[in-house]
Amino acid sequence: MTERPDLSLPVAPQGAPNVVLVMLDDVGFGASAPFGGIIETPAISQLAEEGLRYNRFHTTAICSPTRAALLTGRDAHVAGVGTVMNSANDQPGYQGILRDSSATIVTVLKQNGYSTACFGKWHLAPAWETSQVGPFDRWPTGRGFDTFYGFLGGETHQYEPTLYAGTTPVHRPDGDDYHLTEDLVDRSIEWIQMQESVAPDQPFMLYLAPGATHAPLHVPSAWSEKYSGRFAQGWDVVREETLARQKALGVVPEDTVLTPRPEELPAWDTLSDGQKQVAERLMEVYAGFLEHTDTQIGRLVDALKESGQFENTMFVYVVGDNGSSAEAGLLGSINYFGALQGMQEPLETQLERLDEIGGKKSYPQYPAGWAWAMTSPFQWVKQVASHFGGTRNPMVVSWPAGIKDAGGLRTQFSHVNDVVPTILEAAGIEAPKVVNGVEQSPMDGTSLVYSFADGEVPERHTTQYFEVYGHRSIYHEGWIASAFHRAGMPWTVGLPPTDAPFDQDVWELYDTTRDFSQAHDLAASEPARLAQLQELFEREAARVEILPLHDARTRRGGTPNLAGNRTEFVYRRGAFGIPESNGPRLNGRSWTMRAHVDVPEGGSRGVLATMGGNTAGWALWLTEDGRPEFRLRAFEAGTVSLAGDTAVAVGAHVLEVDVDYDGGGVGKGATITLSLDGVALGSGRTERTPRGFYSIDETFDIAMTSGSPVGDYPHVFPFEGGLDRVEFSLR
């Protein structure tokens, strides 16, 4: 007998709400105006007035783990993503692989009648799985999303992003005024409108995760100019002003104490006039970037209201996946990935290019002092899972059909892993015990629906551990024990950490029912309670399989790599969108590249091979008039540009680039030679090369470019002509 397939579609429970989940990037607790910040955020303000603000909501302190917990309802290590994808290793909980036993909320909703879409940042697929050879299981469309448009890594250029539609690399739309956040919101609105037209009775889940406000800080100048002069008082005073506004708004208790500046951070008054000028400009650009981002989110809110869908849409707006980022170092940078690797540009260069900050040829991030200011009133910043400066983020929830206490404030302890149970309860869907044949781990989060109607009801999420890079803490029934791991500061993430044994870390103890900001360490007066919490942390750490503790900054390796240990490579047309980390490993060594081309009548033009982008990288191309050019850009430390004087003649040729590395460690200089058919066209030197990488977002491409161009050529710029192969020999 022929088996008959079930032709019925899954149907969502009656009245199940639409879900819009927005997560911003690298926004501290004290940045946005509704939570006392200096930066205007009209959409957050509007949603807060119409819904609820949560002032004791927590993330994991870093991006990929927060996103894993957000989408699965499990602790990040349980889900398999206890560190950022670019620090993944072979240890349990840190492998950077979303476990099938922690199904995403998207998969569950889809199997219960929802339509699903993801726009923006993913950062939940390991690098070795993000090329066009796949596998695509951990891409968004492999984790329950019907539609995906966005980028896979931790950051991307906002004007020239590296984009994918589904599992296919795509190029951004044409136009000189393009900005990624605007594009993502446009597509979100279009998708919702399509959904309403085709299946108006089917609820949807939209996950919108802009790259903003993660570095690079990119925004049209009109947005940053609005904040000109607003930060002249410096980060110490801005922190004080922020706390005063927070108290006036009621988002912190009246007795909240401002925690002191870490001794490693400079006081504003110790900066030179030039350093202050650069720091102000960087922060003005950040402020404009955040307001611009939130204004785009406001367009999405308006579209929902205009369509009549806002009433029964649960809009969850998480304002940051961790605290503010200090990753550009103590002085900030106009090209921060260089600074992150110890290649800080001089102040003179910053001042010369002050007007470029925020534009297409900059790659900026503000100084660590501003990151600390934006986490007021708490200690520390992004990466630091031991203190609220790294883990406390605002959250706003709006759902007119389900929340009647408009403008309410909720003070119950909550965590990013609570979002999934909250959505499931609101939709009337039970957490499944088995998904796609795989038994599911229990939810670690607690539904927050209990708090929607009553701001005074006791909290139900009473215990939560935190751990990132060895920084760790444990919250339990109002108390938190915290241990800062001094192997490295959060503004030296790109440099090797020091050897700091875990048993030398100092544990602190805070009563958060009386001490909102972790200002009064009670470890000395409450040793028994501290010992109990330390024991509880050990039990939780054992449960999530992270014992013995290790610092993911030092325990790298053991994960697959597409390049392996090869020293010979052959690439052909179509090799495109390969993660830099899984292309030929070129840094810290000598190498030769040969492009075998065949120039037709009429000549050739376009990119032959490239890695990185306009802030750091290299490219070999033929110009519009057919001349060969090569450029290597080592951030602000040096650029080598080599070119032929005439067009490459019709016929078969070999273009060769030879990089003769100085040796003696990483980040050293090199002599570079460009040749055509064995005849040198030019040679040049750079005294510095990247210690580790050009970028984490730009890719390695053959016969065209994705993202931003290294050279002076258009974006994409596909090669026109015969290209047999591009060979690499590493030595």
pLDDT exceeds cutoff 70 at 246: yes
Its pTM stands at 0.97
Residue among 386, 472, 364 at smallest CA distance from 93:
472
pLDDT tens string 172-224: 999 999 999 999 999 999 999 999 999 999 999 999 999 999 999 999 999 99
The conformation of residue 2, written as its DSSP 8-state character, comes to P
Residue with tokens 């503790």: 549
pLDDT tens track for 329-347:
999 999 999 988 889 999 9
Q: How many residues does the chain have?
A: 731
Q: Determine the Cα–Cα distance for residues 260 and 372; give it in Å rounded to an integer.
A: 10
Of 79, 59, 2, the residue nearest 546 (C-alpha):
79
Query: What is the arithmetic mean of pLDDT over 667-692?
Result: 96
Looking at 1.10.10.370, 3.30.420.40, 3.30.9.10, 2.60.120.200, the CATH number of the domain 568-730 comes to 2.60.120.200
DSSP of 563-624, one letter per residue?
Answer: STT-SEEEE-TT--SEEGGGS---TTS-EEEEEEEEEPTT--BEEEEEEEETTEEEEEEE-T
Nearest Cα residue to 610 out of 582, 568, 576, 659: 576
CB count, 10 Å around CB of 6?
A: 5
Tell me the mean pLDDT in the region 19-23. Answer: 98
Q: Rounded to an integer, what distance in angstroms lies between the CA atom of residue 643 and that of residue 411?
A: 63
pLDDT of 535 above 90: yes
Average pLDDT, the chain: 96
Q: What is the distance between the alpha carbons of residues 261 and 98, in angstroms, rounded to a whole number?
A: 37
CA 391 to chain centre: 15
Residue range 702-731, pLDDT digits in tens: 999 999 999 999 989 999 999 999 999 999
Q: How far is Cα 500 from Cα 490, in angstroms, rounded to an integer?
A: 15
Q: What is the pLDDT of residue 492?
A: 82
How many Cβ atoms from other residues are within 10 Å of residue 347's Cβ? Answer: 14
Radius of gyration of the chain (CA): 26
Residues in a beta bridge with 365: 333
The domain segmentation of the chain, as residue ranges, is 18-451, 463-543, 568-730
Residue 568, number of CB atoms within 10 A of its CB:
9
Quick one: tokens of 148? Answer: 């995906």
> What percentage of the chain carries pLDDT values higher than 90?
92
Instruction: Give tens-digit pLDDT for 539-573.
Output: 999 999 999 998 988 866 778 999 999 999 999 99
User: Residue 459 and residue 450: Cα distance in Å, rounded?
Assistant: 9
Mean pLDDT of 372-396: 98
Distance CA 419, CA 175 (A): 37
* 488: its two tokens: 């490295």
Please tell me the class of the 18-451 domain. alpha beta
Mean pLDDT (whole number) for 588-615: 97
Which strands, in side-by-side order, build the sheet including 463-468?
Answer: 463-468, 471-476, 479-483, 507-511
Express each pLDDT in 65-118 by its tens digit: 999 999 999 999 999 999 998 788 888 889 999 999 999 999 999 999 999 999
Q: Residue 162, CB half-sphere, CA atoms under 13 Å: how many?
A: 31
Helix (H) or strand (E) run with residue 540 in it = helix 527-543
The number of helices, as runs of H, and strands, as runs of E, in the chain is 14, 30
pLDDT at 1: 57
The whole-angstrom separation of Cα 728 and Cα 731 is 10
Q: What is the pLDDT of residue 556?
A: 66
Helix H, strand E, coil C: the string for 623-692 is CCCCCEEEEEECCCCCEEEEECCCCCCCEEEEEEEEEEECCCCCCCCEEEEEEECCEEEEEEEECCCCCC
Its sign, for the CA torsion 197, 200, 202, 208, is positive
**pLDDT band at 5; cut points 50, 70, 90:** confident
pLDDT tens column, 138-165:
999 999 999 999 999 999 999 999 999 9
- What does the pLDDT average to over 512-519? 98
CA gap 80, 545 in Å, rounded: 10
CATH topology of domain 463-543: Arylsulfatase, C-terminal domain (3.30.1120)
Calculate what percentage of the chain has a pLDDT beyond 70.
Answer: 99
